Chain A
Amino acid sequence: MTRYILRRLLLMVPVAFLVTIGVFVLVRLSPGDPVLVFAGEERDPAVLAAMRQELGLDQPMPAQYVAWVTRLAQGDLGRSFQTRQRVLEAITERLPATLELGLAALLISVTLALAVGILSAIKRNSVVDLLSTSVTLAGVSFPSFFLGIVLILLFAYVIPGRIFPPGGYVPFTQDAGDNLRRLVLPALTLATASLAINLRQVRSSLLDVFGQDYMRTARAKGLREGTVIVRHALKNALIPVVTLIGIQIGAIIEGAFITETIFFWPGIGRLAVTAIPSGDYPVVQGVVLVSALSFMLTTLLVDLLYAWLDPRISYEKVGA
């Protein structure tokens, strides 16, 4: 296992290197002169030249990249052009809100997917199954921002009593009840797209397991149907779901960009979206980089968990 972990970590190095190059090139492609954005009203050529030198923008591209990666390795993502705040600080300030939303969405998505997916697989071709497969397809096709708007319209304006507020955020430590009330709509919105995919995966992996010989053997031994499903089917069918949860982390990160914008949720997605129109590239660059690296790390963790859960996976062969 240690060798497998080391190998996976080593494989991540060139990919992470390419990711940093990608983010660096993207920012350098951006229209406009970053010095002009950073300088604000200042237009004196001498001051601008000094600023360019200070930011290292008078250096050749490879030198700029090396300097940027070196600062990055020290945890320095630069400063926001707009607020002059350190980007890493801006991200860490908003990370708890994004994590809270993401975890709530993941919890809703996985719980519902397991409950409905299991029922749908056991009662294959029944009304429940038909309904759940239709909902799956509809859920994948439903744009999250439109779902968010429908939910706001229904729960904040149409249904009397304003059950859930249309947006905004109150820290959990300040008012737990209000925090949870404000969390419901964005979490549901974010959960829907991944719920559809999770549900499909739970159903199909259970159906796969139902066709295996050991299931027939379990039934032939005279075990009760409940025992066969819980002890033999579920245990095996849920392993691929672990991988899926890892993949959903990506969906949740990207979904946060949209959901946080609709619900005025002060997370890192909204931070990036508000930074784009003002040309605050260090912030966009920082959020994109943090998203990519955390996506890579969670994928790695899930792969390791998967290898640990499923003894059939040979550590020696993976990645060879």
Chain B
Amino acid sequence: MSGATLPVALHLRQADRATAIRYFARRNPRMLIGGAMVLTWLLLALLAPFIAPYDPIKVNVSGALQPPSGIHFLGTDDLGRDVFSRVLWGSRVSLSVGVISVSIGFLVGVTLGLAAGYLGGTFDLLVMRAIDALLAFPALVLAIAITAALGPQIQNAMIAIGIVAVPAYARLTRGQVLSVRAREFIVAARTIGCSPLRIVLRHIFPNVTNALIVQATLSTAFAILAEAALSFLGLGPQPPDPSWGQDVNYSQRYLPNLKWWMSVGPGVAIFTAVFAFNFLGDALRDALDPRLRRSA
């Protein structure tokens, strides 16, 4: 028996893969810049306990309201707490809320979208009406209402922002599933007797991941912004724990005294973190969306 007709799996060599990655990175420099900005914030959050020069909640009244200096890079607040240390520790709150709430939105939204798109019929109708109901609320108003109902805690803020993120994932996934469902390879998989679960997970899901990666990056930016807004309204982590939004709110009372550094530190931190994820999301969309790639 000759083996000439048997299919041969060609494995990409490690060197070829590295070349491909380098080529992709060269063609998409914005992705590298965005990735570097996001990575910097992630590292700062991870290493905060080691690089923060002071304890973020330790009160030192004698050193209160000092402007930025070599000793306190971003000055101190009215209780003498180091603003730079609070910004670094605050990044752990903001980024963890971002990642966890996006994971909640992703898991629930993608599961619903895959099931609704694949199964269709009554299930699809019910899910999409529920999604429409969620979309009827302005996103932040819904997040505020959920957090107010569950109680002002960081875990509840994560749940609220996660729920608000569900519709975007569900609609996106459902739309992608509908466009892939009728393709030949799905018909072929069904013909050879694949189970619906296998078809959805092994054949459909890999084809919708590009759009989901872009959505996840952009919704992390939204989640950080939403967490900051909830904290600003007193619905996030409670004092004395550091949190960017809450610190900006707290600093507001010192504006007439021109103690600007108390607001600027956490405010700029929110802006740069959200900007990093938005920038990366935009770059990923340009790189992964075939329609944009063609028109570029």
Contact = CB atoms under 8 A, between A and B. Distances in A.
A36 to B, nearest CB: 16
A30 B148 contact: yes
Given A31-B151, A146-B267, A157-B255, A137 B146 contact: no
Kindly name the residue among A14, A21, A158 whose own CB sees the greatest number of chain B CB atoms within 10 A.
A14
A150 to B, nearest CB: 7
Contact of B275 (A29, A141, A250, A284): A141
A149 B136 contact: no
Nearest to A154: B260
Contacts of A293: 136
A18 B263 contact: no
A143 B229 contact: yes
A68 interface: no
A219 B292 CA distance: 26
A149 B267 CA distance: 9
A81 interface: no
A141 B278 contact: yes
A295 interface: yes
Contacts of A19: 133, 136-137
A128 interface: no
B271 A142 contact: yes
A72 to B, nearest CB: 15
B278 A137 contact: yes
B267 A29 contact: no
Nearest to B140: A254
A140 interface: yes
Interface residues of A, number: 50
The DSSP consensus for interface residues of chain A is helix
Contacts of B279: 137
A37 interface: no
Contacts of B234: 276-277
Contact of B138 (A29, A149, A291): A291
A250 B271 contact: no
Nearest to B282: A137
B88 interface: no
Given A23-B145, A26-B149, A253-B138, A18 B255 contact: no
Contacts of A29: 149-150
A34 to B, nearest CB: 12
A90 interface: no
Interface in B122-151: 129-130, 132-134, 136-142, 144-146, 148-151
A257 interface: yes
Contact of B252 (A27, A142, A254, A262): A262
Query: Interface of chain B, helix or strand or loop or mixed?
Result: helix
Contacts of B228: 143, 145
A107 interface: no
A101 interface: no
A156 B260 CA distance: 13
B267 A291 contact: no
A292 interface: yes
A153 B260 contact: yes
B56 interface: no
B99 interface: no
A26 B145 contact: yes
A296 interface: yes
Interface string A279-299: 000001000100111011000
Nearest to A277: B234
B287 interface: no
B146 A26 contact: yes
A254 B138 contact: yes
A144 B226 CA distance: 11
A141 B271 CA distance: 6
Nearest to B225: A143
B248 interface: yes
Contact of B255 (A15, A152, A253): A152
B90 interface: no
Contact of B144 (A142, A144, A257): A257
In the complex, the 4 A-B pairs of residues with the closest C-beta atoms, listed nearest first: A18-B133, A146-B267, A254-B140, A141-B275
Interface of B: 129-130, 132-134, 136-142, 144-146, 148-151, 221, 225, 228-229, 232-235, 245, 248-249, 251-252, 255-256, 258, 260, 263, 267, 270-271, 274-275, 278-279, 282
